[in-house]
Amino acid sequence: MTDDEVIDKKSKNGAAGRQTISAVIITKNADRTLEACLDALKWTSEIIILDSGSSDQTSQIAQKKGAKFHTAEWRGFGPQKNEAIGLAQSDWILSIDSDEFVSEELVSEILRITSISHAEDVYELSRLSKYCGKQMRHSGWFPDFVPRLFRNGAARFSDSLVHERLLYKGQSKRLNGYLFHDSFHSPDDVLDKMNRYSTLGAQQLASQSQQGGLLRAVIHGLGAFLKTYVIKYGFLDGAEGFFLAVSNAEGAYYKYVKLYYLNKLKR
């Protein structure tokens, strides 16, 4: 199924009363945030973790917290998340990342919506992210509504290596409460994720026969900075707004540099 296709499988109509909810997480070396993430999910019917080769304490934390721990070779964010949700047995699926934490207000909303018979199939959560410890209220990071709660069988992720999106039919609705996101913990974390994501992005563009090069790298890098810092009011986020704009620019720049060299190797 391509990114432009949607799910044909229809979900069943829920009966009134509490339905089961599976929290689904993909991981690799997630021990810094995983325990807090799982502690905020104690109310779910089951927690599914699909790991792609962690070498830290991820598996031990998962087992200690009673999560169902599975392993699979890494195939990209979209395919990995689809394999993970395929393991879920509940009526509803809550797909979150290991560095995201469900607020108490959001928990109440999820429990309320999954207990009524006329609920929609897909719901968006309001995500509030941190960059090196600061909650970002601008820079294109807020408001940030992400579809993450859906009836089992009503949605799936695109097969993208990175920046995957949820595919579904119909309209989604929004829930109150926040999904807190500790996106970048430190400058080292920023550099590590920028390197990994730009590599995946370059691989994805190469698979689509896109071209890289100096001019494209510079234009996309400069565009990412201006969009983050100026168009999305990143300057209102203070120093972190500038730092984020620079890291976004670097990510876009290196994605097209890496794409250039990937294509050069092919030739």
* Domain boundaries of the chain, sorted by first residue: 21-184, 187-266
Model pLDDT, residue 17: 63
Fold entry, domain 21-184 = Spore Coat Polysaccharide Biosynthesis Protein SpsA; Chain A (3.90.550)
Model pLDDT, residue 81: 98
Residues 41, 10, 114, 34, Cα dihedral to 10°: 10
Model pLDDT, residue 265: 92
Query: What percentage of the chain reaches a pLDDT higher than 70?
Result: 94
Model pLDDT, residue 266: 86
Rounded to an integer, what distance in angstroms lies between the CA atom of residue 212 and that of residue 204?
Answer: 12
Q: Tell me the residue ranges of DSSP E strands in 1-105.
A: 21-27, 46-51, 68-71, 92-95, 100-102
Instruction: Name 179's bridge partners.
Output: 102, 127
Nearest to 21 by CA among 135, 140, 79, 107: 107
The set of long-range contacts for 66-73, using a CB threshold of 8 Å and a minimum separation of 24, is 67/25, 67/38
Q: Looking at residues 121-132, what average pLDDT do you find?
A: 98
- Give tens-digit pLDDT for 27-83: 999 999 999 999 999 999 999 999 999 999 999 999 999 999 999 999 999 999 999
**Which two tokens mark 226?**
């201006």
Backbone angles phi, psi at 229, to 5 degrees: -85, -30
pLDDT reading at 9 higher than 90: no
Tokens 């080769």 belong to residue: 53
Cβ–Cβ under 8 Å, residues 90 and 20? yes
Model pLDDT, residue 10: 41
Cβ–Cβ under 8 Å, residues 122 and 172? yes
- Give tens-digit pLDDT for 69-116: 999 999 999 999 999 999 999 999 999 999 999 999 999 999 999 999
- pTM over 0.85? The answer is yes
